[in-house]
Amino acid sequence: MDPKLAMIAANGAKFGNEMAQNPALMSALLEKKNLGFKSDDLKAISEVFYALDEVKKNAQMSGD
């Protein structure tokens, strides 16, 4: 078994997460995939996540 998957499985067991204990599932979720995004698309996606993170931070500061 891949050492990273073994570590994930061990932590899954430690914290009672059954899904994380399944090496086949974790392998499928963690394998590299080429989704075909272009550079401009990736930049736009990162800007969306940055904006969402800023909204979250501002909401936390205002107590919402």
| Domain coverage including residue 26 | 1-33
Same domain, residue pair 40 and 63: yes
Same domain, residue pair 27 and 43: no
| Confidence at residue 2, expressed as pLDDT on a 0 to 100 scale | 85
Same domain, residue pair 27 and 42: no
Q: What are the C-alpha distances in Å from 30 to residues 13, 15, 18, 26, 49?
A: 18, 19, 16, 6, 20
Higher pLDDT, 11 or 1: 11
Judged against a pLDDT cut of 90, whether residue 61 lies above it is answered with no
| Confidence at residue 64, expressed as pLDDT on a 0 to 100 scale | 59
* Chain segment 17-46, per-residue pLDDT in tens: 999 999 889 999 888 888 898 999 999 999
- Tally the domains of the chain: 2
Structure tokens at 5: 């998957």
| Confidence at residue 38, expressed as pLDDT on a 0 to 100 scale | 92
Same domain, residue pair 46 and 29: no
Same domain, residue pair 44 and 22: no
